[in-house]
Amino acid sequence: MKLKKLFSSEGKEKDPVCGMSVDPKTALQATHEGKQYYFCSENCRTKFTTKPEESITHKNHDGCKCCH
């Protein structure tokens, strides 16, 4: 089905700030302690690079109003 493929998260990475699925081929990126992270927006990337530990340990993304 086309719709299933359109909304598939296969091959996607998770934005550590907001939890959104992003395409690693086109997403903004940052490296922290040797690991690559991917972001849906510049706002999320900036939040991560400012305080990466908060984003990495933050698991509940409900109500995140950072970018969408």
Could you give the CA distance from residue 7 to residue 42 in angstroms, rounded to a whole number?
23
What are the backbone dihedrals phi and psi of residue 6, each rounded to the nearest 5 degrees, phi first? -60, -40
C-alpha distances in angstroms, 25 versus 10, 11, 50, 53, 62? 13, 10, 23, 24, 26
pTM as predicted: 0.74
Encode pLDDT of 5-62 as tens digits: 555 566 899 999 999 999 999 999 999 999 999 999 999 999 999 999 988 876 666 5
Q: Where are the domains of the chain?
A: 12-57
CATH architecture of the domain formed by 12-57: Roll (2.30)
Residue type, 25: K
